[in-house]
Amino acid sequence: MIITYSSMKGGVGKTTNAILTATNLAERGFKVLFFDLDTNNSGTMYFTQGIDGIADTIETHNVFESLSHNDIGRYSIPSRIENIDIVPSHLNIFKLRGIGYNELQKTLKGYEEKYDYVVIDTAPTYDNLVINALLASDIILTPLKFSSFDFTTAKFLQKQLYDDAPGQVEKWYLLYSDFQQKFANFENAPQTQFIKYFEQNFTNILPIYIPRTDAASKYTQMDMHLSTVTKSSTSARNLAIEINKLVNMLTGEEMDDETKFAERF
């Protein structure tokens, strides 16, 4: 399965959720390829930090080389996380902005021989590289924050999917990001009003509520593990639970007891 995180708005948790999805899958024993199309490079930094000589390695093993040669085998590298390989981001990818729409599909052809899942992180924009990712995907995920700009960019992406990749529209889902449980029961809270507005206009919103918590940045920047059974942080526990719910949907695994899997990931 190829899972793409795509949003035209930055700061919605796209890369963080992509990292959490990939590491959750890997913790379950799946082989994962993280394909980093985001020039912001956060995913690459997370998965490669501390690897000896990584700066030199990325100069020859990266998304630009992979897409230029339609090859993942020669241009992916083992990450520091067990079960995860990565095709690192590189600024040379800007040279490929006129790339044909199907080059990523050609590049990932036959990925199932080595990987169970491919997780693609895209830049917060809409260009040929993003279209490549959308067309290659089995599922497309767009995190939403609670703002009018999130609504506008989601509607734009919806229109572009209908125009450029109509066969992918049914594979596109939204999920709530930066959710604050303390406002959930307040009818007049802005968060509640935005949820109503989103759900009046979109039918493809998953029942996933990624909480507002610094646990996500601590995970991706300081390697603090998450736990569904932690007692020290309710928001960190909720983050682990919601990511588990999302990955359960992706894998088809039924984990009724949330402590069965990913007590740490």
Tell me the whole-structure pTM to 2 decimals.
0.92
Residue 125 and residue 157 in contact, taking contact as beta carbons nearer than 8 Å = no
Strands in 69-138 per DSSP E: 77-78, 84-87, 117-122
Residue 64 and residue 93 in contact, taking contact as beta carbons nearer than 8 Å = yes
Measured CA to CA in angstroms, residue 251 lies from 6, 245, 248, 254 at distances of 20, 10, 5, 9
Give the per-residue pLDDT at 181: 87
Give the per-residue pLDDT at 259: 43
Residue 77 CA to residue 160 CA, distance in Å, equals 33
The residue among 145, 214, 155 whose CA lies nearest residue 175 is: 145
Give the per-residue pLDDT at 224: 65
Give the per-residue pLDDT at 263: 47
Ordered per-residue pLDDT tens for the chain, 265 residues: 999 999 998 888 899 999 999 999 999 999 999 999 999 989 999 999 999 999 999 999 999 999 999 999 999 999 999 999 999 999 999 999 899 999 999 999 999 999 999 999 999 999 999 999 999 999 999 999 999 999 999 999 999 999 999 999 999 999 999 898 888 889 989 999 999 999 999 999 999 999 987 766 667 666 666 665 555 567 788 889 999 999 999 999 876 444 444 444 5
Helix axes 234-251, 215-222, angle to 10 degrees: 80
Q: Can you list the domains of the chain with their CATH numbers?
A: 2-251 (3.40.50.300)
